[in-house]
Chains A and B, each alone.
Chain A
Amino acid sequence: MTHSHSQAFVRTEMLAEQAPPASEMGALRWARENLFSSIPNALMTLVALYVIYYVLAGISPWVLGGIWNAESLRECREIRDTLYGEGREVACWAVIADRWHQLLFGFYPSELYWRPILTLILFGAAVAPILFENAPRKLLILTATVPFIAYFLLWGGSIWGPVAVALGFVLGWAVLTYTQDFLGSLGATLAAIILPILYWLYFAGTVGNALQGILPIGIEAIGSDEFGGFLLALVIGITGIIISLPIGVFLALGRQSDLFIINKCSVIFIEVIRGVPLIVWLFTASLLLNYFLPTGTSFDILLRVIIMVTLFSSAYIAEVVRGGLAALPRGQYEGADSLGLNYWQSMQLIILPQALKISIPGIVSSFIGLFKDTTLVVFVGLSDPIGFSNLIRASSEWNGIYWELFIFIGLCFWIFCFSMSRYSQWLERKLHTGHR
């Protein structure tokens, strides 16, 4: 029995759906829940809004009113006074318009800018197969050859120098592959290390010169002292990370190894390098490296800095890779052993591919750190972006200009480092999908 007989009125059909109240919808609800959910929260929102307003109100007229066309800071100020009247400060972006090429390329001859740009494009293509799984695999051939091409493009000179050096690697590879049968794996490895070193020390120069004599191909040579600005930072940073990666992997393996002497040597090397600031190592490179090498050897400061930066970052990468090695479950090591693989086989086929995959985010962030640290080379007399900002300020036209240069340099670094860190976060998410 329904109530319809005893009650005066019973609704028999549903009411039409109504929109939720305005306070529970869209932007208003979002603001209430996220910005004004309680009194302290509302106070915080107001304070934050005030801070944002204060900063924007202070900076935006200075930035937006900036002057882009001027030859010098004095001209900038004259234009400002005629435009806005006395007493208002605006940015003088003309310094960036005038000198951006120096901040990016240093003293590299302007008609040859295509060389660093082409190098950067080639480098991008070469790292693509390492960074992104779906890039074409054939690019890996480019990855193997790009260090030599990059050296040739950036420094110029004869093409046969880099070719002769590359031949050393081919020699090492050939020795490793073809002598394994009668030298055994240890002998072949040693031979593959020693023979190319002997070749580089005693024959590479001759081979290069001979080839140059037969077929002279070359482009204009550029000295290391003409490198500067972000070009210099990138050359040091990228060379450092690429060479330090294999060294770091070996150090990490050494530190995880059961062999007493190798373990202790790796630990000492890593801890000594990491315990001392980079700037002290850079001064060591500029003041002391000549003491440690045979009397009379001297090579340019850029190369010395690259060597130091490489050793420095290899210690940091070793720690990152060690983290990756330690993060692998013991079962992987035991599984490799039970398959009867020897140490190098199990490392190469089972452990390292997984450990390196885990460590890629750490490697990327140590690359970001290294790239930021390249600014320190200004203290040993190289002109990185900050060094160039000092040079520009020392010129009579732009004497006394600070913020425009700092902002430009900071922005360039920020864009580079931020995109790297986003990449590493993306990679972390991608690698983690299997474990959730």
Chain B
Amino acid sequence: MTIQVVALILILAGIAWLANNTIQNLSVLGKDFDFGFLSQRAGYDINQRLIEYTNDSTHARAALVGILNTLLVAFLGCITATVVGVIAGVLRLSKNWIVGRLMTVYVEAFRNIPLLLWIIAIFAVMTESTPQPRDFRGDDPAATMNLFDSVAVTNRGVYIPGLDWGPGSLVLILVFVASLVGIYFFRRHARKRQEETGDILPVFWVSLALFVVPSLIIYFILGRPVTLNYPELRGFNFGGGLHLRNSLIALWFALSLYTGAFIAEIVRAGIISVSHGQTEAAGALGLRPNRTMNLVVLPQALRVIIPPLISQYLNLTKNSSLAIAVGYMDVRATLGGITINQTGRELEGMLLLGLFYLITSLAIAGVMNLYNASVKLQER
């Protein structure tokens, strides 16, 4: 008890000392502690935005644009990193010697070289070794578009076909969502029935049919409401389509490949951790190989894989703040960069920035703890 009281007094004294210093320093500099700057006009442009924003918008809006950009690159990165990581992890365990070695080279190369170096190297590839938009001009152009004239890789970014949402798209989306809900309920029904009667329904094929068929039928009934919008050369630059900036692509690729290398190791460790006796026992029960995988090996491997996997997602989200190296406008660049420089509100800006990352991390960690509690082995 004495120790606790002493520690509490020391900690409170420390905090009071820091707070006192801060107040003194702020008054010396003639500043106050005020979040009013958030509702002032930002006055700077953001080239990459998911929501409406002009330089007349407020600093709060700019921060929101940055937050969405951070979440965008983190979301894209998590998906591709998982795909890359799972493939590399499984292939690293492959019986094929040369493929296994190749994956080892990939994993060791990306794990042992700083992410920052990968980001700027990929950015340099994107800007230095790709053609300029004007190289696509003329009868005998120096560069051509890929994939049936639908994708243009230039030093200003990659142009891909975009989607035009015509009238009736809403119905299409609703039907698609409804079929997803249908798949969920069908799977639940199939599992319940298997547990009660032992009959096994063809879950995969029915799910696939539910996923594709209703949406396709509605798509043609409504007369193709959603169309592709191809990029084309207009003047000195490409117009139409979707413009992915080099900064986004470099950040996305580097984050995916770097985190993918870590995920590959996690997946490999997870698969190895399921002892061989489990597979053999499943075989002795008469389960076929794919059922053994789904019902015996994967549930046990996932228990080992998921917690470190989620902490890798967390790392990826935090590492997306390296956007600064390529000028991607994430939340650190808007709220923690230009806004702070323009208003001189370092204390408030950094506090909000830290709070955003902290809340994101705690939310992801909270999900992880819930999952851990649900799959934990029950011991004595």
Q: Using a CB–CB distance below 8 Å, which chain A residues touch chain B?
A: 34-35, 37, 41, 44-45, 48-49, 51-52, 186, 190, 259-262, 265, 271-272, 274-280, 283-284, 287-288, 290-295, 368, 372-373, 375-376, 378-379, 386, 402-403, 406, 409-410, 413-414, 417-418, 421
Contacts and interface: CB of A to CB of B under 8 A. Distances in A.
A417 B350 contact: no
Nearest to B355: A276
Nearest to A271: B362
B164 interface: no
9 contacts: A34-B95, A275-B361, A276-B361, A280-B321, A280-B332, A280-B354, A368-B112, A378-B116, A414-B108
A295 B17 CA distance: 12
Contacts of B177: none
A424 to B, nearest CB: 12
Given A295-B21, A417-B112, A48 B99 contact: yes
A244 to B, nearest CB: 18
B273 interface: no
Interface string B95-127: 111110010000011011111110011001000
A279 B322 contact: yes
A276 B95 contact: no
Contacts of A287: 340, 346, 350
Contacts of A402: 121, 124, 128
A409 B121 CA distance: 11
B361 A274 contact: yes
A38 B114 CA distance: 38
B330 to A, nearest CB: 11
A52 B103 CA distance: 12
A277 B95 contact: no
A35 B97 CA distance: 6
B4 interface: yes
B99 A45 contact: yes
Contacts of A279: 321-322, 324, 332
Report whether over half of chain A's contact residues are helix, strand or loop; otherwise say mixed. Answer: helix
B358 A276 contact: yes
Contacts, number: 147
Given A375-B114, A402-B128, A417-B112, A276 B4 contact: no
Contact of B95 (A37, A271, A274, A368): A37
A288 B95 contact: no
A290 B2 CA distance: 34
Contacts of B324: 279, 379
Contacts of B22: 291-292
Report whether over half of chain B's contact residues are helix, strand or loop; otherwise say mixed. Answer: helix
Contact of B112 (A280, A373, A386, A413): A413
Contact of A265 (B7, B25, B353): B7
A3 to B, nearest CB: 43
A276 B362 CA distance: 10
A378 B354 CA distance: 20
Interface string B15-40: 00010011011101000000000000
Contact of A406 (B7, B18, B121): B121
Contacts of A288: 346-347, 350
B358 A48 contact: no
Interface string B33-77: 000000000000000000000000000000000000000000000
Nearest to A190: B6
B229 interface: no
A375 B254 CA distance: 15
Interface of B: 2-4, 6-8, 11, 18, 21-22, 24-26, 28, 94-99, 102, 108-109, 111-117, 120-121, 124, 128, 318-319, 321-322, 324-325, 332, 336, 340, 346-347, 350, 353-354, 357-358, 360-362, 365
Contacts of B112: 368, 372, 413-414, 417-418, 421
A414 B111 CA distance: 9
Contact of A372 (B11, B94, B114, B365): B114
A386 B120 contact: yes
Contact of A51 (B11, B102, B319, B322): B102
Given A279-B321, A279-B322, A421-B111, 12 more contacts: A34-B95, A44-B96, A190-B6, A274-B361, A280-B332, A379-B324, A386-B114, A406-B121, A413-B114, A414-B112, A417-B111, A421-B112
Contact of B26 (A260, A291, A417): A291
B273 to A, nearest CB: 14
Closest 4 CB pairs of A and B: A275-B361, A417-B112, A277-B318, A34-B97
B21 A409 contact: no
Given A259-B4, A262-B7, A413-B113, A272 B358 contact: yes
A275 B321 CA distance: 13
A413 B111 CA distance: 10
A292 B20 CA distance: 8
Contacts of A272: 354, 358
A44 B94 contact: yes
Contacts of B353: 280
Given A265-B11, A294-B21, A386-B120, A373 B114 contact: yes
A410 B117 contact: yes
A276 B361 CA distance: 8
A290 B24 CA distance: 11
Contacts of A418: 108, 112
Contacts of A284: 350, 354
B264 to A, nearest CB: 14
Nearest to B18: A292
A48 B100 CA distance: 10
A1 B252 CA distance: 83
A375 B116 contact: yes
